[in-house]
Amino acid sequence: MTAARTDSSTDDQPTALSSDEAYDILADRRRRYAIHYLKQADTDAVTVQTLAEQVAAWENDKSVEALTAQERKRVYISLYQSHLSTLDEEDIVTYDEDAGTVSLTDPVEQADIYLEIVPRRDIPWSYFYAGLSVAAGVLVTLRWAAVGAFSDVPPLTVAAIVVVLFAVAAVVHGVQSGRAKLGDAGPPPELSADE
């Protein structure tokens, strides 16, 4: 994730968050949920109450209407006392405590923030592609060495199989990555993953 923040040494020129800062900010679930909702919002600013209700609904896997007063209050206080100030200090959001509103800063609003969601029984995509490369290498080697039935397979067929395997994997990866983007429609990515 890249987001603008103010560097006091350069006359308020925006600078990018470092990876460590971005990971630190996104490490907290409530901050991720808040950013997710603010990226979805079709208005410039939302009230802290509205934001807290939606975050509480996602946390409790309920609709906003089904939330208890305690569930709403717990998230509201956490956002009000801690998270929104942190996000404001890092120039991720503009938080107007007096008006009780919060909005994303322009660079963050425009940024695509992806999270790699790896359900418990799955493997990361990097491992999948490494395994697919090894399998393709074995297939090519078996054809090149003319081992058994592979001696009858035309080299162009082997190449086509490898290309199709990588193309299908890339399409599936693209679709799943789109579901792991903060701000897309629906609940935050963590709630979409099969766990």
Q: Is residue 99 part of a domain?
A: yes
Same domain, 99 and 160: no
Considering its fold, how many domains does the chain have in total? 2
Identify the band that residue 132 occupies on the pLDDT scale cut at 50, 70 and 90: very high
Calculate helix-pair angle for 48-60, 69-78, nearest 10 degrees.
Answer: 120
Q: Is residue 160 part of a domain?
A: yes
Same domain, 61 and 134: no
119 contacts: CB under 8 Å, gap ≥ 6: 193, 194, 195
pTM above 0.75, yes or no: no
Q: Is residue 155 part of a domain?
A: yes
Question: For residue 102, what are the domain limits?
Answer: 4-113
Identify the band that residue 6 occupies on the pLDDT scale cut at 50, 70 and 90: very low
Q: Which of 4-13, 46-55, 142-151, 179-188 has the highest mean pLDDT?
A: 46-55
What does the pLDDT read at residue 9? 43
Same domain, 29 and 93: yes
Mean pLDDT of the chain: 80
Q: Is residue 91 part of a domain?
A: yes
Same domain, 105 and 135: no
Same domain, 51 and 146: no
Q: Is residue 140 part of a domain?
A: yes
Q: Chain centroid to CA 190: how far? A: 9
Query: What average pLDDT does the segment 146-169 reach?
Result: 91
Q: Under DSSP, is residue 58 helix (H, G, I), strand (E, B) or coil?
A: helix
Same domain, 97 and 23: yes
Same domain, 109 and 130: no
Domain boundary among 113, 133, 167: 113
Q: Is residue 101 part of a domain?
A: yes
Same domain, 103 and 30: yes
pLDDT tens-digit readout, 35-63: 888 888 877 899 999 999 999 999 999 99
CATH of the domain at 43: 1.10.10
Task: Residue count of the chain, please give it.
Answer: 195
Domain boundary among 89, 113, 137: 113
Same domain, 20 and 102: yes
What does the pLDDT read at residue 117? 55
What does the pLDDT read at residue 10? 47
Q: Is residue 75 part of a domain?
A: yes
Same domain, 130 and 104: no
Strands (DSSP E) found in the chain: 4-7, 13-16, 46-47, 93-96, 101-104, 113-114, 181-182
Identify the band that residue 65 occupies on the pLDDT scale cut at 50, 70 and 90: very high
pLDDT tens-digit readout, 97-129: 999 999 988 766 656 665 555 555 667 778 889
Q: Is residue 14 part of a domain?
A: yes
Same domain, 149 and 77: no
